[in-house]
Amino acid sequence: MVQQPLAESVWRPRVTVAAVVARGDRFLMVEETIRGALCLNQPAGHLESGEEIVDALVRETREETGWQVMPRHFIGVMPWLNPRHGDVTLRFAFAAEALRHDASQPLDAGIVRALWMTRAEIAAQSPRLRTSLVLSSIDAWLGGQRLPLATIGRLGATGRG
C-alpha cells in the first residue's frame, strides 16, 4: 500500500486594519472586552472577503465608535505574533480624520465605549492595551510616518494574476 503524503499546511496570516484618529492631542480609542478582560485598542478589525482595505477601515471605525472618518494616510504594515496561539496578524495602520459622530450607531459586540485619550493616558494603561501595536501605530504617526493612500493597492487594480 502506497502512503499518500500529507497535504502541506498553508500559512495564512490574519489581516486587520487599525485607525489612528487624532483630534488635537487626543486619539480615538475603544474599550472592549476580550476573553473577559477590558482592553484598549484603536478602532480596528478584520478585513472581510472581497473588501477593500481602506473601506474596511472606515467600516470598522464606524461600527466600533459611531465615528465617520476619512482615511488620510497609510502609516504602515505592522506584523504581530500572537503569543497565545502563534498566529501572525498583519495590521494595516492608517491615519484618519474624524468627520462626524452618530451617537445612535450601535457599537459592535464586545465594545464597551469609544473614548478620546492622550498618548500619555494610553501609555499609562499599557497593561490593558490589546497589543503593543496600539502605541507603535500612534508613535509612528507622531513621528511623521505618513504614506499616500495609493501605496495600498485596490482589488482588481493589479491586472492579471
Closest CA to 73 of 157, 142, 159: 142
User: Average of pLDDT values for 144-158?
Assistant: 84
Q: Which domains does the chain have, with CATH numbers?
A: 26-149 (3.90.79.10)
Does the pLDDT at position 161 exceed 50? no
pLDDT, tens digit (0-9, with 9 covering 90-100), for 92-125: 999 999 999 999 999 999 999 999 999 999 999 9
> By the 8 A CB rule, do 114 and 107 touch?
yes
- Would you state the pLDDT for residue 7? 56
Number of C-beta neighbours around residue 39 at 10 A? 19
Tell me the three cell numbers of residue 61. 471605525
**Amino acid of residue 43:** P
Tell me the three cell numbers of residue 1. 500500500
Does the pLDDT at position 69 exceed 60? yes
pLDDT, tens digit (0-9, with 9 covering 90-100), for 7-29: 567 777 888 999 999 999 999 99
Full-model pTM = 0.87
